[in-house]
A and B are shown apart, each in its own frame.
Chain A
Amino acid sequence: MAEMKKAEPPKDVSQYKGIMVYLDSFEGKLTRAAHEMIGVGRKMADKVKEPCIGVVIGDKVDSMADDAGKYGCDEVYGFESHDLSMYRSRPFTDILSSMVFEKKPNILIVPGTKNGRDLAARTAVRVQSGLTADCMEIDVEPETDILIARRPDYGDSTMSEIRCEKHRPQMATSRPGTFDLPPYDEKRSFKKEIRKVELKKDQLREEILSFKPKGGEDITVSKVLVSGGLGMGNADGLKLIEQLASIMGGSYGVTRPVADLGWAPRDHQVGQTGKIVRPDLYIAAGISGKPQHIVGMMDSKTVIAVNKDPDAEITRYSDYVINGDLYEILPVFIEELKKRKKMKDKN
């Protein structure tokens, strides 16, 4: 529980050193988002020549701590208890905050998964510091040790640069998929410390009754995505999108307005309020390219835009632009791909 008072900055910020990375996990494994954040932390640590400190909390954390070290943490602190096999807001906040008080990191970055965002928001209040959510860029200024956190402003085609100059640690989250994975080095040396935790009853008031894994496909792991926007005109357009996606062994995505209209489930929504994807191929059909959507797909390897408007914003983020009605263009793709499949069959 945080004290009811204003956020007091520390008198001497120079005592705060190092980049702390909270390592989000699921079923005993670090999440992709956690790996991404190790990469971000590692880069900043190299820039300011300070350690990258990983914190992992769970039931059994040893192999996750090793994983974090091999991906780039210099020091990894693991907190272990049978009561911590799944995320619980209060004890996780207690542990992460205690690590902040103990290690005094200059920067604390947290994967922007739902549990990570929950944890970061509480921890920022507990440690009386500033937090910037959904950063697209996270960097540090070596001269000042100041965190540069940039996040998009929706509705406007701008990004805000947000700083937390007086309070420590300077905190940020980023949505999963925002960054590339760092390199893995089996031989990397790092310091590991596993601590057993005894939790008090009042830390465990939250009871997890059940967990049902979500069925359906996870569009963030698809190599090929075909997405439809309002240019589809109606819910039936999705059939064409799905057909093209499935012929390439990929999945389909949609924009926020399409999900808002109920034409497709939210799990398939690409963008700031949906998923951030980075497939090998992204086909944007009937999508104008609002920042809200661009954020979710701009790091795809190859982007093809299919749009009636040759100057639609999406074309600026596309490698190839096909000007035309998606109902005329996508069937050409489908036919051509079918032909090639048949040829493969014959061979």
Chain B
Amino acid sequence: MIELALHLVVLIKVVPDGKEVFVDPVTFTLNRSMATNIINPADENALEAALQIKDQTDAKVTVMTMAPPFAEPFLMECMSRGADEAVLISDRAVAGSDTYPTSLTVAAAIKKMGDVDIVFAGEKTSDSSTGHVGPGVAEFIGAELASYSRKVTYENGYVTAERELENGIEEVRIPTPAVVTILTDSNDPRRATLRKKIDAMKRGIITWSLADINIPADWVGLRSSPTVVKKMLPFPRKDRKGEKIEKEKIPELIDNLVKSGVIRVEAE
């Protein structure tokens, strides 16, 4: 039997850089519109997890995003780090899609590729933070799923992943095709190299429209999204008195907190 190269697909999203937010001097709200864009941090870890498998095994890594063309330089960056191929799903009709049509569209692109063994995604994005798309894709393509994973290995048709849960680390083994979602900071993403960057520029980016992946335009977008953002509300404030305490009055404050049982002072 001929051993075919593994096909790994990494899903990325371009997000505003959360560290670069500015306080609007008039409204005192935080303004993201001036922020620059970055690859969603967890997706960088997802790419690295895929590249680490490629270091060990004969594999092709495809990086994919659903976005307007402004995402192209970020796909190039992923190729400069070691991805072999980049796919941009770009279509005006997808604007306003929630996680259902987004998962559907991404799943359709994966199905079009036909030979995908493992899909990698970040555990969540730093902008909307739902973490729904990875599991949603698994559901649409009928793959096994290991979410919230760090340390992913592949051997003989099986993926082993360490899932980091609230109360412990669970090691799971799932057969391919598989979807793994990767934890933020779970590895140290490699840097781009000049050589790979030149290669990437030669190869370019593959752009698919919805027609290319056989998704009707009325299956996606705001109108075909089950959820809608109805309104924006001010962030809830808990009315607290914010009583100013001078440094000299700290002993008094502690006495009061001890008296009301908030602090318990046990003998040593």
- Chain A residues in the interface with B (C-beta under 8 A): 1-2, 4-7, 9, 26, 86, 89-90, 93, 113-115, 117-118, 121-122, 124-126, 128-134, 136-137, 150, 152-167, 176, 205-214, 218, 224, 248-249, 257, 266, 272-273, 280-281, 290-291, 294, 298-299, 301-305, 310, 315-324, 328-329, 332-333, 336-337, 340-341, 344-345, 347
Contact = CB atoms under 8 A, between A and B. Distances in A.
B245 A337 contact: no
A-B complex: 10 closest residue pairs judged by Cβ atoms = A130-B226, A121-B135, A1-B142, A130-B227, A6-B219, A167-B226, A344-B267, A121-B132, A125-B139, A133-B130
22 contacts: A1-B139, A4-B107, A89-B135, A89-B138, A121-B99, A121-B139, A122-B135, A130-B226, A133-B129, A134-B129, A154-B18, A158-B234, A161-B231, A161-B233, A164-B227, A206-B174, A212-B169, A301-B262, A323-B244, A328-B247, A337-B263, A347-B267
Contacts of A301: 262
Contacts of A165: 228
Contacts of A176: 166
Contacts of A166: 226
Nearest to B183: A266
A4 B140 contact: yes
A128 B129 CA distance: 21
A89 B262 contact: no
Interface stretch (B44-52, B54-62, B189-197, B251-259): B251-259
A159 B167 contact: no
Given A320-B245, A344-B266, A114 B148 contact: yes
Contacts of A130: 98, 100, 225-227
From A89, A161, A210, A248, residue with most partner B Cβ within 10 Å: A89
Given A310-B244, A321-B244, 12 more contacts: A1-B140, A90-B144, A114-B166, A122-B145, A125-B100, A131-B130, A136-B236, A162-B227, A212-B168, A224-B263, A322-B244, A337-B265
Interface of A is mostly: mixed
Interface of B: 16, 18-19, 21, 29-32, 35, 98-101, 103-104, 107-108, 111, 126-127, 129-132, 134-136, 138-142, 144-148, 160, 163-175, 184-185, 216, 218-220, 224-238, 240-247, 250-251, 253-254, 257-258, 261-268
A5 B219 contact: yes
Contact of A163 (B184, B230, B267): B230
B29 A205 contact: no
A294 B235 CA distance: 10
Contacts of B264: 248-249
Contacts of B138: 89, 122
A147 B219 CA distance: 24
B29 A159 contact: no
A266 B100 CA distance: 30
Contacts of B135: 89, 117-118, 121-122, 125
B261 to A, nearest CB: 8
Nearest to A279: B262
B105 to A, nearest CB: 10
Nearest to B264: A249
A317 B240 contact: yes
A158 B130 contact: no
B225 to A, nearest CB: 7
Contacts of A89: 135, 138, 144-147
Given A125-B140, A155-B18, A163-B227, A317 B232 contact: no
Contacts of A332: 247, 250
Contacts of A90: 144-145
Interface of B is mostly: mixed
A28 to B, nearest CB: 13
B238 A133 contact: no
Nearest to A259: B185
Contact of B170 (A152, A210, A290, A341): A210
A214 B257 CA distance: 33
Nearest to B267: A344
A214 B162 CA distance: 13
A131 B228 CA distance: 10
A116 B234 CA distance: 28
A136 B111 CA distance: 36
A291 B244 contact: no
A133 B131 contact: yes
Contacts of A211: 168-171
B172 to A, nearest CB: 6
Contact of A155 (B127, B146, B148, B246): B127
A176 B165 CA distance: 13
Contacts of A156: 29-32
Given A122-B136, A136-B236, A4 B111 contact: yes
Contact of A159 (B142, B146, B235): B235
Contacts of A280: 261-262
Given A152-B235, A167-B226, A333 B250 contact: yes
Contact of B240 (A303, A323, A341, A344): A303
Nearest to B145: A89
A173 B247 CA distance: 42
A321 B127 CA distance: 31
A265 to B, nearest CB: 11
Nearest to A346: B267
From B19, B100, B136, B184, residue with most partner A Cβ within 10 Å: B100
From A1, A114, A328, A333, residue with most partner B Cβ within 10 Å: A114
B104 A124 contact: no
